[in-house]
Amino acid sequence: MKVGFFNVFKGTVAFQHTIHMVLADMMIRSVRKSMPRVPIIQFTDMVSPAIVGVDDIERRPSKPSAVLCVEHYAACEGDWLVVDTDVLIQKDVRHIFDSKFDVAVCDREGTMVPGEPGSDIMEEMKYNIGVVFSRNPGFWLEVLAEMNSIRPDQQEWMGNQVAACRVIYSNRYNIKTIPGGVYNRPPLNLKDRCEDACIIHFKGPKRKTMMLERFAEV
């Protein structure tokens, strides 16, 4: 198995543009701690800097972020865990590949916080692609084709999530559903350590600070 993540530096010092470079460093170190010999590959454009600690970097010409991300995923042959930068991997998760599937995706069970903004979107898109175990690049090629019908603004952000759910709902692929509360767990607050989760996902702006609070742990 390899771990891949998408990160493009937007060229400004704005918090939302630089925070993910710090979080990516934390994510990489969490992989090293939980699965020491697993290769880690950064997916990016032609000019963004490599994040310290990666084993390799794959570059493609610049495009809208969501489109470029899926293009990278569609080139992944073999067993891959592809993740957002704002995750911490607490336990070895290679056992997921013990069964047959095209992609394994996380459901929303145990990940939806009542009253939190975006809950209505989560109910419409029942799977989150911030953490995906992938072994069939054909799935991502179809997601890429689906993104041609996505609004231009969504091609920068969220369009890959929307398109991936559409392809999942098509039932044309062998989709393995895994519990989001274990493999895509969002902490409720600073005191929520999510100790029983394999992967913690610090989704949303407020949780980025929660992830930074755990910098020394990884």
pLDDT at site 114: 65
Cα–Cα distance measured from residue 122 to residue 178, given in angstroms and rounded to the nearest whole number: 16
CATH of domain 64-217: 3.90.550.10
Q: What is the mean pLDDT of residues 170-196?
A: 93
pLDDT at site 117: 60
Q: Domains of the chain: which residue ranges?
A: 64-217
pLDDT at site 116: 67
Identity at 104, one-letter amino acid code: A
The average confidence (pLDDT) of the chain is: 92
| 95-120 confidence digits (pLDDT tens) | 999 999 999 999 988 776 666 666 56
pLDDT over 90 (residue 19): no
pLDDT at site 204: 83
Collapsed DSSP state (helix, strand, coil) of residue 194: coil
191 falls in which pLDDT band (50, 70, 90)? Answer: confident
pLDDT at site 118: 60
Decide: 54 and 28 in contact? Cβ < 8 Å.
yes
pLDDT above 70 covers a percentage of the chain that reads 92
Determine the distance from the C-alpha atom of residue 77 to the mean position of all C-alpha atoms in its chain, rounded to a whole number: 17
Q: Which residues contact 85 (CB under 8 A, 6 or more apart)?
A: 5, 6, 7, 20, 21, 23, 24, 27
| DSSP-assigned beta bridge partners for residue 59 | 44
pLDDT at site 23: 95
pLDDT at site 188: 84
Cα–Cα distance measured from residue 110 to residue 8, given in angstroms and rounded to the nearest whole number: 30
Cα–Cα distance measured from residue 2 to residue 133, given in angstroms and rounded to the nearest whole number: 10
User: How many Å from the N-terminal Cα to the C-terminal Cα in the chain?
Assistant: 21
pLDDT at site 123: 64
Torsion of CA 183, 184, 185, 187, to 10 degrees: 140
Query: Running DSSP on this structure, what letter comes out for residue 196?
Result: T
| 75-87 confidence digits (pLDDT tens) | 999 999 999 999 9
pLDDT at site 185: 95
Decide: 81 and 204 in contact? Cβ < 8 Å.
no
pLDDT at site 17: 67
From the list 198, 179, 178, 200, the residue with the least C-alpha distance to 188 is 200
pLDDT at site 122: 64
Q: Which residues contact 192 (CB under 8 A, 6 or more apart)?
A: none
Q: What is the mean pLDDT of residues 193-212?
A: 92
| DSSP-assigned beta bridge partners for residue 83 | 5, 131
pLDDT over 90 (residue 170): yes
pLDDT above 90 covers a percentage of the chain that reads 74
